[in-house]
Amino acid sequence: MPNAIITGATQGIGKAITEKLLANGFSVAICARTEKDLVDLSSAWTQQYPAATILALQADLGEKQQVFNFAGKVLDTFSEIDILVNNAGLFFPGRLADEPEGHLEKLMEVNMYSAYYLTRAIVPAIKRDGSGHIFNNCSVASLKAYPNGGAYSISKYALLGFSENLRHELVNENIRVTAICAGATWTRSWESAGIDRSRMMEAEDVAEMVWATYNLSSKADVETIIMRPTTGDL
């Protein structure tokens, strides 16, 4: 049974990707900050997919040591890693000139450094297996500046740069690297925003693209997935 790691897996895109992989025969290692969400989802998934191993661990990936702790427990459980999805992230709107002190540092820790540290910890195992696929959940905010993007956009630009450098380093290792640059996608965090859900993509749309990308032949590498709502960015 193939194995996947998905961070930030209890809602939105991370949850949709996890469910897509479970439905296609994967075992998964997931993490999130809220323990109740992990318990509820892992219990439901265990009943639905009894053949799968589901390792669900509470972790704040904004804390470097917790990234390493999570990676260590995953590698103790799974001897092979087929997919790594760096999805954990935070979003705070703001302007560079007046956003709160520490805003940039926090967003970089969660949105960028967590992917950097976790990938460094997991890549040796992927290399040992001789193949694998790494997905980094960037954003359309990685591609251009927009109003109130602030530190969030900076962190996502950095994550896209990390993806491109990682791809270059692994090009001869049979390990593919794909950056996911999705526009507005419905998650529960949008529920109080007063925005019409029909203006957004569904998280399952992104999961379908990830699955299709993973299933291409080893001769093809989708470097960047760019997706937006049909009516454009919000």
Report helix angle 114-129 to 150-170, nearest 10: 20
The one-letter amino acid code at 227 reads M
Residue ranges of domains in the chain, CATH in brackets = 3-227 (3.40.50.720)
Look at the pTM and tell me if it is higher than 0.85. yes
Give the integer Cα–Cα distance in Å for 159 and 144: 13
Residue 183 sits at the vertex; the CA angle it makes with 180 and 186, to the nearest 5 degrees, is: 105
pLDDT digits (tens), the chain, 234 positions: 999 999 999 999 999 999 999 999 999 999 999 999 999 999 999 999 999 999 999 999 999 999 999 999 999 999 999 999 999 999 888 999 999 999 999 999 999 999 999 999 999 999 999 999 999 999 999 999 989 899 999 999 999 999 999 999 999 999 999 999 999 898 876 666 667 787 889 999 999 999 999 999 989 999 999 999 998 887
